[in-house]
Chains A and B, each alone.
Chain A
Amino acid sequence: MIELDAKTLAMMEEIRSLGRTHIRPMGLEADRTATPPPVDHEFYLICTRQGGLVSKMIGADEGPTALDWKPVRNFLIGEECAYWDRGVALSLPGPGLGGPALRNTGTPEQRQRFLSIFEDHSKARWGAMAMTEPEAGSDVARIKTRARKDGDEWVLNGQKMFCSNSARADWVVVWATIDPALGRGGHRAFVVERGTPGFEIIKVEHKMGSRGYETASFVLEDCRIPGDNLLGGEAFYEAKKGFKASMATFNMTRPLHTAHGVGMGRAAHDFALDFVRNEYPAQGRRRQRALERLARIRRGLHTARLMYLNAVWLAKNGQSNAMEASYAKMYSPPVILEAVAAALDILGEAGVRNDKMLEKLYRDVKILDIGEGTQQVQRHVVARQMLKFPMD
C-alpha cells in the first residue's frame, strides 16, 4: 500500500468531493456541447479562492514560486482530477504546463513575476506552454517560430498549435529558435503575456474527446516582448541548456500524462465494476469473464501508477528520469486504452450509450498516446539513449 500523508489525503478528499459536484458534471456538459467551460465558470472561482485548489496544488506552504514543490502529491491529485474528468482537470486555473517550464528554467525573478499572479484569488488565471507547430509535432527540434533580438526586446514570428488553454492564459511559454541552423542549440523559451501586440489566437480546435479544455492555435506576428521574458536569461542558454530544458519539462509532463491516464482508467474500471455488481448474473461464465477483465484492468493501472510515481520520485530526488518518464509514457497509454475498451466490453452494447460515460472515456483517452510525445517518440527517446539510435 502506498502511504499518503494527512495533507495529501485531505486534498484528495477535497478533489473527490469537487469531482462529484463539479468536475464530472462540467466534463459531461463540455462533451455534449463540444465547448469548454467558460472562463468565468463558478467552479474556477472556487478553485482560486484563498485556500482553494490551485494554491494548494502549486504549493501554498512553500509559496507558489518555490522550487521545493510537491510533485508526487501534485501527480496524485492530477490522477484524481482526471478520474472525474481529464478535460476539466486540464482546464483548471493555474500555470498548467507552463509551470514545470518556469520552475525548471525560470530565474527567481521570473518565477516571482509569472507565478505570483496565482496568489491573486479574486479571479481565475491560467498559464500555458506552446511547443507544437504545424510542421513540427513529434520532432520538436524542427520548430520554426523565430526569435530575433532587437535592442532590449525579442521579436517573435511563427505559429503554434495544439496549445492547451492558450486562448485564456495570462501568459504562454513559447518555444522558438534564434536560428534553425543551430538545431536544438538554437532553442529558447519566452514568456508571452496576453495582450501583447502580434499575439493572436486564430483557432480553437474541435476534438473527438477531451473537450473540457481548450486546444488552440495562435500566431505571433512581429510580437515584441521584453528582453527579460527570455526564460532563464541569456546565461542559461550560453550553457547550452535550451533543448535540454524543454526535454526536462517533458520529463515531468510525460509522467503527468500517465497519472491522468491512470485516473481515466480507474473511472472506466469503477463504472464497469458497478455494472458487474448490479447487472451481471451472480455466477456463470459471463461473470467469470468480466471479473478476469476487471483484474487485467486493475493490473495495468497499478503498473502504470508505479511507473509514473517512480519517474516523479526520481525527479524529486534530483536523479535523471528521462528514461523512466518515457517508459511510463510508452507503456501506459495502450494499457489504459485497453482498460477502457475492456470496460466497454463488460457493458456490451449498453457501453456505446453516451449516458453511460464509457463511450466518452473511450474518445477521451486516445489523446494520451499522442500528447507530450507519441508512443513512437517515446521509443525514439529510449532508443537514442539505450542504443545510440542516430538522429537524422
Chain B
Amino acid sequence: MRDFALAPELEELRAAAERLGRAELAPNVRDAEAAGRWPDGVLDVLDGFPLGGLDVPESLGGVDAGLLAKVVILETLAQFDPSGLPGADRPGATTGALIACPDQALAAEVAASCLDGSAQSAFTVIDPDNGSTGIDWAPAWPALRWIWAMENDTLRLLEVTGTVEPVIALAFQASGSVRVGFDQTTERGRWELSPRVALEVRGRARLWGAAICVGIAQAALEETIEYTMDRVVFGKPVAHHQGNAFDIAYVAARVHAARLVVRDAAASFDRGERDAGFWATQAWLEVREAAFHATNVGIQLLGGHGFIVDHLAEKRFREARHLAMAVGGLDAAEFDVAAEVLDVPDALLASLEQR
C-alpha cells in the first residue's frame, strides 16, 4: 500500500537543504538577484550535495538517488529562494533527455560537463506548427553549451558554438538570462524516440519546474499567513475576515495537493512505470494552476505591499508564471495528456480486469 512517508535518509537530506536555504538563501534573496547569481559558497555546498547529480544515473556520473529525492530537495530550496536554481542545478530539467538519449557516450560527455560546473544545459520544446528559431530563455551561468530540443518525438542535441544574447526576463534573475538562436549552434545528434519515451523526457523536465513551483507556492502561503495574521484592517487581522481566511485555506489545500501529485509522479519514475511521463505532465498542469493561485493570492492579500519589492510576493508571482511557460507551456502539456488519455490505465486499478 502507498507510503507517504519519506525514507529516513531522504528526510535527512531534506532537513539539510532546509538548513541551507534558511541560513544562506533566504537572507540574501535580493542581493542574489542583483548579483545575477547565488554566492559561490552556496554553490559549493550544492555541488557537494550533489544537487545536479541527485537524479542522474551512476552511468552518467550522477548518484542515482532518484527523482523523488530530487523533487523534495528542489521544493525545499525553492521555498527559500528559487531564483538561482536554474543556474545551480545542472543538468536539471534536461536529465530526462540525458537518460533517453540513445547515444549514451555522448550523453555522458554532456552530463560530465554539466556536473563539473563547466557547462549549462537547457531544454526546449519546438512547436511543430510554428517552428522556432532558438531558445528564448536559459540561465546565463555557467555558460550555456548544450540545448536539448524536442519537436514532436524527435530529440536533438545542439551545441552552442556561436554567441548567446543576454536578455531581461520575467524572473530567476539570480540565474541570469540568455537567449540563443539555433543558427548559433551545431547539431551533435538527432534521434527519433518512441512516443512514450519522448513524453518521459518532457514529463521529467516539467516535473523539475513543478517541484520548484511547489516550493514557491508553499513560501507564498507562509508569507501570506504571516502578513495577514499581523496586519490589522477594520479592527481585526486581515486573516480573520472570512473572505480572506477562506481564500488562504483554499490555497493551503491546493499547495498540499500540488505536493502530493509531484511526489507521486516522481515516485512513478523511480519505479519505472510505463506512464510516468503522463502523470508527471498531469502533475505539472496541476501545480502550475496551484502556484499561480497561491502567488496571486499572495500579492492580493498583501495589498499594495504585495506589489512592491520590499516583500517577496511579487517575486514569487513572477517566478511561478515564468516556470509555467517552460517545456512548451500549457498547450504542449495539454496536447501531451490528451494524446495519451485514452491509453493510460487508471493508476490504481490497472491490474483489475478491463471493464
A positions within 8 Å CB-CB of B: 1-5, 8-9, 12-13, 16, 72-73, 76, 80, 266, 270, 273, 276-277, 288, 291-292, 294-296, 298-299, 302-303, 305-307, 309-310, 313-314, 317, 323-324, 326-327, 330-331, 376, 378-383, 386-390
Which of A1, A298, A303, A382 counts the most chain B CB atoms within 10 A?
A: A1
Given contacts A288-B338, A299-B286, A390-B240, contact A383 B246 (CB under 8 A): yes
A248 to chain B, nearest CB (A): 20
Out of B228, B347, B353, name the residue touching A2 (CB < 8 Å): B347
A337 to chain B, nearest CB (A): 15
What does the 1/0 interface line of B325-355 toward A look like (CB < 8 Å)? Answer: 0000000001001111110101111111101
A385 to chain B, nearest CB (A): 9
Cα(A306)–Cα(B4), bound, Å? 10
Cα(A76)–Cα(B352), bound, Å? 13
Task: Report yes or no: A331 in contact with B254, Cβ–Cβ below 8 A.
Answer: yes
Cα(A309)–Cα(B264), bound, Å? 12
Out of A266, A296, A303, A314, name the residue touching B257 (CB < 8 Å): A303
Which of B246, B248, B249 counts the most chain A CB atoms within 10 A?
A: B249
Task: Report yes or no: A387 in contact with B229, Cβ–Cβ below 8 A.
Answer: yes
Chain B, residue nearest A8 (CB): B1
Cα(A381)–Cα(B237), bound, Å? 18
Task: Report yes or no: A386 in contact with B338, Cβ–Cβ below 8 A.
Answer: no
Chain B, residue nearest A382 (CB): B249
Task: Report yes or no: B342 in contact with A276, Cβ–Cβ below 8 A.
Answer: yes
Chain B, residue nearest A293 (CB): B338
Task: Report yes or no: B260 in contact with A295, Cβ–Cβ below 8 A.
Answer: no
Task: Report yes or no: B347 in contact with A302, Cβ–Cβ below 8 A.
Answer: yes
Given contacts A303-B286, A327-B253, contact A386 B248 (CB under 8 A): yes
Task: Report yes or no: A310 in contact with B260, Cβ–Cβ below 8 A.
Answer: yes
Contacts of B355 on A, CB cut-off 8 Å?
16, 270
Task: Report yes or no: B286 in contact with A389, Cβ–Cβ below 8 A.
Answer: no
Tell me, yes or no, whether B268 is within 8 Å of chain A by CB.
Answer: yes
Cα(A383)–Cα(B221), bound, Å? 13
Which of A12, A295, A326, A331 counts the most chain B CB atoms within 10 A?
A: A295
Show 9 A/B contacts (Cβ-Cβ < 8 Å), sorted by A: A3-B2, A13-B353, A270-B355, A292-B338, A306-B261, A379-B250, A380-B245, A387-B225, A387-B228
Cα(A276)–Cα(B341), bound, Å? 11
Contacts of A4 on B, CB cut-off 8 Å?
1, 348, 351
Chain B, residue nearest A72 (CB): B1
Contacts of B286 on A, CB cut-off 8 Å?
299, 303
Out of A5, A16, A277, A302, name the residue touching B261 (CB < 8 Å): A302
Task: Report yes or no: B225 in contact with A386, Cβ–Cβ below 8 A.
Answer: yes
Out of A9, A292, A302, A379, name the residue touching B249 (CB < 8 Å): A379
Tell me, yes or no, whether B19 is within 8 Å of chain A by CB.
Answer: no
Task: Report yes or no: A387 in contact with B346, Cβ–Cβ below 8 A.
Answer: no
Out of A296, A298, A317, A387, name the residue touching B239 (CB < 8 Å): A387
Task: Report yes or no: A302 in contact with B341, Cβ–Cβ below 8 A.
Answer: no
Which of B5, B334, B346, B353 counts the most chain A CB atoms within 10 A?
A: B346
Chain A, residue nearest B224 (CB): A387
Which of B3, B268, B351 counts the most chain A CB atoms within 10 A?
A: B351
Chain A, residue nearest B340 (CB): A295
Cα(A302)–Cα(B347), bound, Å? 8
Contacts of A314 on B, CB cut-off 8 Å?
4
Tell me, yes or no, whether B112 is within 8 Å of chain A by CB.
Answer: no
Which of B3, B257, B279, B344 counts the most chain A CB atoms within 10 A?
A: B257
Task: Report yes or no: A16 in contact with B348, Cβ–Cβ below 8 A.
Answer: no
Chain A, residue nearest B247 (CB): A379
Task: Report yes or no: B351 in contact with A330, Cβ–Cβ below 8 A.
Answer: no
Given contacts A2-B348, A383-B246, contact A295 B334 (CB under 8 A): yes
Task: Report yes or no: A327 in contact with B256, Cβ–Cβ below 8 A.
Answer: yes
Contacts of B334 on A, CB cut-off 8 Å?
292, 295
Chain A, residue nearest B345 (CB): A1
Task: Report yes or no: A1 in contact with B352, Cβ–Cβ below 8 A.
Answer: no
Task: Report yes or no: B279 in contact with A2, Cβ–Cβ below 8 A.
Answer: no
Tell me, yes or no, whether B252 is within 8 Å of chain A by CB.
Answer: yes
Cα(A326)–Cα(B250), bound, Å? 10
Chain B, residue nearest A80 (CB): B349
A41 to chain B, nearest CB (A): 24
Cα(A288)–Cα(B331), bound, Å? 12
Chain B, residue nearest A292 (CB): B338
Cα(A8)–Cα(B2), bound, Å? 13
Chain A, residue nearest B355 (CB): A270
Contacts of B12 on A, CB cut-off 8 Å?
none
Tell me, yes or no, whether B285 is within 8 Å of chain A by CB.
Answer: yes
Tell me, yes or no, whether B196 is within 8 Å of chain A by CB.
Answer: no
Task: Report yes or no: A331 in contact with B348, Cβ–Cβ below 8 A.
Answer: no
Cα(A313)–Cα(B279), bound, Å? 21
Chain B, residue nearest A310 (CB): B4
Task: Report yes or no: B338 in contact with A324, Cβ–Cβ below 8 A.
Answer: no
Tell me, yes or no, whether B188 is within 8 Å of chain A by CB.
Answer: no
Out of B3, B225, B245, B347, name the residue touching A1 (CB < 8 Å): B347
Out of A270, A313, A379, name the residue touching B246 (CB < 8 Å): A379
Contacts of B338 on A, CB cut-off 8 Å?
288, 291-292, 294-295
Tell me, yes or no, whether B273 is within 8 Å of chain A by CB.
Answer: yes
B165 to chain A, nearest CB (A): 35
Task: Report yes or no: A307 in contact with B256, Cβ–Cβ below 8 A.
Answer: yes
Query: Which 5 A-B residue pairings sit nearest by Cβ, starting from the closest?
Result: A291-B338, A382-B249, A295-B337, A383-B245, A379-B249
Given contacts A9-B351, A266-B346, contact A299 B253 (CB under 8 A): no
Cα(A288)–Cα(B335), bound, Å? 8
Given contacts A298-B282, A306-B264, A376-B246, contact A327 B341 (CB under 8 A): no
Task: Report yes or no: B260 in contact with A389, Cβ–Cβ below 8 A.
Answer: no
Chain B, residue nearest A378 (CB): B249
Cα(A387)–Cα(B246), bound, Å? 10
Given contacts A314-B4, A327-B253, contact A383 B351 (CB under 8 A): no
Tell me, yes or no, whether B231 is within 8 Å of chain A by CB.
Answer: no
Contacts of B347 on A, CB cut-off 8 Å?
1-2, 302, 305
Task: Report yes or no: B249 in contact with A299, Cβ–Cβ below 8 A.
Answer: no
Task: Report yes or no: A299 in contact with B1, Cβ–Cβ below 8 A.
Answer: no
Given contacts A9-B351, A387-B240, 16 further A-B contacts (CB under 8 A): A1-B273, A1-B348, A5-B1, A9-B352, A273-B342, A288-B338, A294-B342, A296-B285, A298-B341, A327-B252, A379-B245, A383-B248, A386-B249, A387-B245, A387-B248, A389-B242
Tell me, yes or no, whether B311 is within 8 Å of chain A by CB.
Answer: no
Task: Report yes or no: B239 in contact with A389, Cβ–Cβ below 8 A.
Answer: yes
Cα(A154)–Cα(B236), bound, Å? 43
Cα(A77)–Cα(B3), bound, Å? 18
Cα(A305)–Cα(B286), bound, Å? 14
Task: Report yes or no: B250 in contact with A307, Cβ–Cβ below 8 A.
Answer: no
Cα(A226)–Cα(B337), bound, Å? 59
Given contacts A266-B346, A387-B225, contact A294 B246 (CB under 8 A): no
Which of A76, A80, A309, A383 counts the most chain B CB atoms within 10 A?
A: A383
